[in-house]
């Protein structure tokens, strides 16, 4: 069957403002096309600088079919390498994370420098060309404490994203943090359902009692319309910008990434049950403005984020299968903050641990219903689901362009 043609026909015949055809959420061939056209071509958030603070620190991650290792080399550069030995292909690093002076393949001990260069390979004969057998590099960029990789040989320019978000992230010094807690959950639903759910708060009041104590359900906060008709948000931006914090809503031309700083309910400072800070040691640079709310940042298809005055919560989405998605959440705090002294872990993580689990259930129920042959595309709420429409439009447009073999737009 001609999957690309089939997909293109569905994309072109799509009804605006309606959820996608069932195949996009369940079909293994469609999923493969998502991997090929999006996940293997776009910049993906993969982890944080602070997870590899010293030379030799590494962590591994699986992106679709690609095992990847992120490592800090001896010069201090963060690198991404294909985690597939150039001898017979074994995974070189099998641990989730670790530290090592060299990367040694467990199979026959081919030994690589931290930058991927092959150093030793026993008894390979006189003609063996070591220089031709380095671990293959993956494009890797960092901005504001975030590591992004791109599996394509010729990635699109990272600069537009960097230029937009660097000033927003800079005051929060996420390079000087540590991961206080990390959780990985597996959601039984297509990755696009995870995003659709994330892009609206139409479901919040009925599903997120803990989050709703501090996070406003107004579509102006979650959606993509900016602060039009929302004087509270407009005033928040003015106040924050005046104190040196970039805050206004900004979105890339193609709609792939957005940043904006949103006020929390009743001037709450953090996502705790009381709204008070969870971490005593400050995360962000000193600003005269105390109530800075939350910096919201998303980049399709792999991350959304909340950066608060006292900590940051970062989310990494990775597809595991047509109906299986991994969501990894990290709570970043000042690197000198001490657990039990400066923060209580349960207090720090409670709201989002609950929220994530509630969202997992929502996504799984959504997936259940969509599996039904009786499912048909349904209408998004124009008032509350503008963000979902924007995500779906981004996806459809992107897929259409890629499937038609057009060059990727350069923002």
Query: Least distance in Å: CB of 59 to Fe ion?
Result: 27
Strand order in the sheet with 146-150: 44-48, 146-150, 137-143, 78-82, 66-72, 57-63, 97-99
Are the C-beta atoms of 301 and 333 separated by less than 8 Å?
no
Number of Cβ atoms within 10 Å of the Cβ of 235: 12
Give the separation between CA 270 and CA 328, rounded to whole angstroms. 20
Among residues 119 and 206, whose Cβ is nearest to ligand 3BY?
206
Report yes or no: 12 and 119 within 8 Å, Cβ to Cβ.
no
Cis peptide before 217 (omega within 30 of 0): no
Q: Which of 44, 69, 85, 135 binds ligand FES (CB under 6 A)?
A: 85
Could you give the 3-state DSSP secondary structure of residue 192?
A: helix
Q: Which is nearer to ligand 3BY, 33 or 270 (CB)?
A: 270
**Binding residue for ligand 3BY (CB under 6 A) from 11, 68, 204, 224?**
204
Instruction: Name residue, tokens 């595309």.
Output: 377
What are the residues facing 61 on neighbouring strands?
A: 68
201 binds, among Fe ion, ligand 3BY, ligand FES, none (CB under 5 to 8 A by kind): ligand 3BY
Shortest separation between residue 222's beta carbon and ligand 3BY, angstroms = 4
> How near is the Cβ of 327 to ligand 3BY at its closest, in Å?
11
Q: How far is the CB of 359 from ligand 3BY (least distance, A)?
A: 7
Closer residue to Fe ion (CB): 208 or 236: 208
**349 binds ligand 3BY per the rule CB under 6 A:** no
182 touches 352 (CB < 8 A): no
Smallest CA-to-CA distance from 353 within 182, 225, 236, 200 is with: 182
133 Cβ neighbours under 8 A, 6+ residues apart: 86, 87, 110, 118, 121
The SS3 assignment for 115 reads: coil
Instruction: Choose from ligand FES, ligand 3BY, Fe ion, none: what does 304 bind? Cβ within 5-8 Å by kind.
Output: ligand 3BY
Q: Is 271 in the site for ligand 3BY (CB under 6 A)?
A: no
Under rule CB under 6 A, which residues in 89-148 are in contact with ligand FES? 89-90, 105, 107-108, 110
With respect to ligand 3BY, which residue has the nearer C-beta, 150 or 198? Answer: 198
Tell me: does residue 201 bind ligand 3BY (CB under 6 A).
Answer: yes
Q: Which residues contribute to the site for ligand FES (CB under 6 A)?
A: 85, 87-90, 105, 107-108, 110
Q: Which residues contribute to the site for ligand 3BY (CB under 6 A)?
A: 198, 201, 204, 222, 304, 355
């Amino acid at each position: 069957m001609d999957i690309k043609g089939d997909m293109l026909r569905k994309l072109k015949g799509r009804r605006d403002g309606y959820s996608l055809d069932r195949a996009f959420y369940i079909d293994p061939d469609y999923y493969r096309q998502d991997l090929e056209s999006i996940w293997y071509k776009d910049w993906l958030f993969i982890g944080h600088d602070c997870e590899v603070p010293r030379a030799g620190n590494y962590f591994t991650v699986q992106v679709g079919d690609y095992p990847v290792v992120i490592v800090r080399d001896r010069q201090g550069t963060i690198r991404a390498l294909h985690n597939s030995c150039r001898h017979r292909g074994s995974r070189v690093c099998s641990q989730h994370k670790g530290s090592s002076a060299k990367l040694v393949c467990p199979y026959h001990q081919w030994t690589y420098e931290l930058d991927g260069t092959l150093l030793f390979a026993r008894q390979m004969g006189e003609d063996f060309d070591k220089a031709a057998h380095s671990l293959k590099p993956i494009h890797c960029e960092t901005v504001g404490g975030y590591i992004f990789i791109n599996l394509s040989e010729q990635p699109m320019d990272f600069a537009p994203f960097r230029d937009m978000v660097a000033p927003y992230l800079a005051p929060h010094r996420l390079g000087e943090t540590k991961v206080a807690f990390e959780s990985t959950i597996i959601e039984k639903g297509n990755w696009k359902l995870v995003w659709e759910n994330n892009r609206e708060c139409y479901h919040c009041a009925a599903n997120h009692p803990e989050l709703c104590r501090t996070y406003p359900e107004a579509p102006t906060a979650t959606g993509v319309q900016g602060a039009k008709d929302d004087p509270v948000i407009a005033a928040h931006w003015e106040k924050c910008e005046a104190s040196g914090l970039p805050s206004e809503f900004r979105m890339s031309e193609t709609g792939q990434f957005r940043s904006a700083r949103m006020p929390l309910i009743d001037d709450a400072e953090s996502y705790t049950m009381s709204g008070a800070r969870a971490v005593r040691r400050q995360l962000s640079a000193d600003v005269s403005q105390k109530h800075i709310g939350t910096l919201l940042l998303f980049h399709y298809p792999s991350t959304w984020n909340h950066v608060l005055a006292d900590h940051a919560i970062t989310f990494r989405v990775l597809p595991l299968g047509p109906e299986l998605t991994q969501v990894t959440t990290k709570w970043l705090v000042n690197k000198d903050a001490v657990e039990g002294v400066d923060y209580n872990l349960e207090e720090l993580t409670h709201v989002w641990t609950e929220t994530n689990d509630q969202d997992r259930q929502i996504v799984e129920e959504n997936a259940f219903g969509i599996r039904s042959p009786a499912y048909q595309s349904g209408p998004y709420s124009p008032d509350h689901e503008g963000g979902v429409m924007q995500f779906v439009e981004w996806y459809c447009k992107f897929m259409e362009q890629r499937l038609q073999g057009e060059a990727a737009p350069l923002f």
